[in-house]
Amino acid sequence: MPEKNIVFAAYCNAGALADITPEQARRLTHLNIAFGIVVDNRIDAEAIKRNRFYLDEIRSWNPDLQVLISTGGGGRGGHGEATSPENLEAFVQSTMDAVRDLGLDGIDCDWEFPCNTGHMEEKQQHVNLMHAYRRELDKYEIERGGKKCWLTIAAAAWDKYYRNTDVMGIIDVLDFINLMTYDIRDAAWAENYTGHHTNLYTPAESFYPDSIDMCVDKLHAIGVPYEKIVIGAGFYSHRWDGVPDINHGMNQKVDCPCVYGPSYTAIYHIYEKSTDYVKYWDDSAKAPWLFNGRSFITYDDPMSMSYKARYVLEKGVRGIMYWEHSSDKTGLLFNAIYENLFPTK
């Protein structure tokens, strides 16, 4: 079993819980089930309830696994109105109803993103929501005999998020932050240039410096302890099309933004084995990419995952999480994380 102080967390869509194997369940510390969605200013957990059989099976394989409902997510709106003063109490209660009904261990709030609508009052609403969740989870912890209840958030890794969120106003009530250190390039860059979307370090030959390490240090500089930061890894890719055949497609300006690319399952079985695509490795960034002369794909592979897991131990951050479990049916990315995160296991 993993050490209790290191987090190895999975995000898994409710409909993909059947993809988690017994061995994987025993190796995870946390499972964030996506999503309890915001509907009519309440949390709707029906998709999770429909898959309760698989959830119960997973918990039987690892009774120590901490299972959280991930609320919101995927760019869905609704948190702003749902957390307004007149709706907050009922919204929080609907979330706790789902936690109790499903026998869960806590809440992971995936509000994407406070103030994204331009309504700056959402900054305080986000703080109010986290404190309300913590109060209710503390009550629930007493109800269930002192068994810990977890509260985490999924946080963006770009500067606008930090400006629009009072991180230090919530950090004391959070167990840790799931820092979404993927989508780094498309989320923060004003123009469309190809590049890594979840690189560990700054590329040596790039005008775009952001990296996981840089994002971690930015969050730490605000005042978040390293032991409350969990870095993110991607089981999916981003793809740019119509890329000039220059520098193997890296750092090239294109007319269209990137799109959600193939899953790692498809990359491993199809793209990496294709005679059309060539795989490249950026040793400064510790990240791979694929290019076929016109399409550029940035992703994580077992090598980049191993570097990320070792980084957790070297940097002293809390752990690593990934999005999303069903996107790697090979198990190779999962195994690379686990074997390097817990090297003595």
In this predicted model, what pLDDT tens digit does every residue of 256-302 receive, in sequence order? 888 899 999 999 999 999 999 999 999 999 999 999 999 999 999 99
Query: What is the per-residue pLDDT for 1?
Result: 45
Query: What is the per-residue pLDDT for 257?
Result: 86
Over residues 224-233, the mean pLDDT reads 98
Q: For residue 344, what pLDDT band results from cuts at 50, 70 and 90?
A: confident
SS (H, E, C) 218-255: HHHHHCCCHHHEEEEEECEEEEEECCCCCHHHCCCECC
CATH annotation of 7-234+300-341: 3.20.20.80
Average pLDDT, the chain: 94
Over residues 165-180, the mean pLDDT reads 98
Query: What is the per-residue pLDDT for 207?
Result: 76
Is 242's pLDDT higher than 60?
A: yes
Give the sign of the dihedral formed by CA 290, CA 189, CA 260, CA 341: positive
Cβ contacts of 51 within 8 Å, gap of 6 or more: 14, 15, 17, 18
Is 227's pLDDT higher than 90?
A: yes
Half-sphere exposure of 313 (CA within 13 A, CB side): 13
Q: For residue 131, what pLDDT band results from cuts at 50, 70 and 90?
A: very high
Query: What is the per-residue pLDDT for 77?
Result: 65
Over residues 314-341, the mean pLDDT reads 98
Pairing, β 259-263 against β 278-282: unpaired
Q: For residue 160, what pLDDT band results from cuts at 50, 70 and 90?
A: confident
- The pTM for the full model equals 0.96
3-state secondary structure at position 37: strand
pLDDT > 70 in the chain, percent: 96
In this predicted model, what pLDDT tens digit does every residue of 67-102 receive, in sequence order? 999 999 876 667 999 999 999 999 999 999 999 999
Query: What is the per-residue pLDDT for 190?
Result: 59
DSSP assignment, residue 269? I
Which single residue is written with the structure tokens 């302890």? 225
Is 59's pLDDT higher than 80?
A: yes
Over residues 194-218, the mean pLDDT reads 92
Is 4's pLDDT higher than 80?
A: no
Over residues 104-123, the mean pLDDT reads 93
**What's the rounded Cα separation, in Å, for the pair 92 and 134?**
10
